[in-house]
């Protein structure tokens, strides 16, 4: 429920979103992991993210999303995403960024090949 509430708040202000695979193990401990929000990038929009976890945090990373947020909405985005986690036991959110544009790229779809007859 908390993840859905946070995603709803983030999505209301973002112009784009990419869901990355949640980080696990040592990578998750070093980088944290969650949803993303951030600083200014070209075009006046801010690639970024929010993370749940951290080097001293315990638990499981359940989301690792990147949101593209217009610069004018960045502070509102940060406030609303963090507020969405308030009062949620065991939930920790980190808002980070700006993120590089490749955070919003997706791998090309695999070509569909007809089955041999």
Read off the pLDDT of residues 33-42 as tens digits, 9 standing for 90 and up. Answer: 433 333 323 3
105 is a domain residue: no
63 part of a folded domain: yes
Residue span of the structural domain in which 12 resides: 2-88
CA separation for the pair 64, 59 (Å, rounded): 14
Q: Is 101 domain-assigned?
A: no
Whether the predicted model's global pTM rises above the 0.85 cut:
no
Looking at the structure of the chain, the number of domains it has is 1
The angle subtended at Cα 44 by Cα 43 and Cα 48, nearest 5°, is 100
**For the chain, percent of residues with pLDDT exceeding 70:** 63
């Amino acid at each position: 429920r908390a993840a859905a509430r946070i995603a709803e708040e983030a999505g209301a202000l973002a112009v784009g979103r990419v869901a990355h695979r949640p980080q696990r193990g040592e990578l998750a401990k070093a980088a944290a992991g969650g949803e993303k929000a951030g600083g200014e990038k070209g075009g006046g929009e801010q690639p970024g993210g929010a993370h749940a976890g951290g080097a001293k945090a315990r638990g499981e990373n359940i989301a690792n999303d990147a949101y593209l947020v217009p610069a004018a909405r960045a502070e509102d985005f940060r406030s609303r995403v963090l507020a969405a986690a308030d009062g949620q036991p065991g939930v920790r959110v980190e808002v980070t960024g700006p993120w590089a544009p490749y955070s919003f790229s997706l791998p090309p779809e695999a070509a569909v090949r007809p089955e041999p007859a």
